[in-house]
Amino acid sequence: MANLEFFYDLSSPWTYLAFNNVQPVLEETGASVTWRPFLVGGVFNAVNPGVYAARAEPMDPKVVHNFRWLHEWARLAGLPLTFPTEHHPVKSVLAMRVCCALEHDQSALEAFSRAAFDAYFARGENIDSPDVLIAIANGCGLQGDELISMTAEQAIKDHLRANTEEAIARGAYGSPTLFVGDALYFGNDQLPLVKQALANQQVKG
């Protein structure tokens, strides 16, 4: 069976779109998915510091057009988008540690991630707040208090660091970074290429 590795950070609006838009791709191709939480800030620091320079020039034409395109993509996907808010850019370390605590249970991780994306991008909530994350987890039938406690464990911190370092070593420079085998794809707009790659992988068996 074809498999998609989906490296992501909950703070990324383009990842919010791709997380939702990849669902029909998976259904149509019959591929499985492995959700891989990482820290996009760690990726930027290592290989793509230009992102921070772009944020310092909000009226740069590329930044302005990207913002418009982001909202057009959201409308095309039928997704509510409240962005940016006073929480942007949100610190995502705590939220991504929660995701790492759930990575062994992919169904729970997907449910939590979907709810967290909705909380931040549809409703404008602060996903750096422990109380917000606890409420999100509890709403998914998970133990929010326990998950927040786990984020202080060294094993969880190391897990997030290892995922981030793996993504960087494999060529990642932002979120979402998707792999079909060794082939890297980036962002929401490359999902047609991801679909093609998954279909080809299915054929090869």
Question: What does DSSP say about strands 32-37 and 3-8: parallel, antiparallel, or unpaired?
Answer: parallel
Give the CATH number of the domain where residue 85 resides: 3.40.30.10
CA 25 to chain centre: 16
Residue-level pLDDT at 62: 72
In contact, 124 and 82? CB cutoff 8 Å: yes
Residue-level pLDDT at 8: 98
> Beta-carbon neighbour count of residue 78 at 10 Å?
7
Residue-level pLDDT at 197: 98
What whole-number distance in Å separates Cα of residue 167 and Cα of residue 129? 26
Question: Into how many domains does the chain fold?
Answer: 1
Q: Using CA atoms in the order 96, 192, 71, 62, what is the torsion angle rounded to 10 degrees?
A: 90
What are the residue ranges in the chain where pLDDT is below 70? 52-56, 58-59, 205
User: Six-digit token pair at 114?
Assistant: 């979907």
Residue-level pLDDT at 90: 96
| Whole-prediction pTM | 0.94
Residue-level pLDDT at 13: 97
User: Six-digit token pair at 175?
Assistant: 């979120």
> Beta-carbon neighbour count of residue 94 at 10 Å?
18
First-to-last CA distance in the chain? 6
Domain range for residue 13? Answer: 3-204
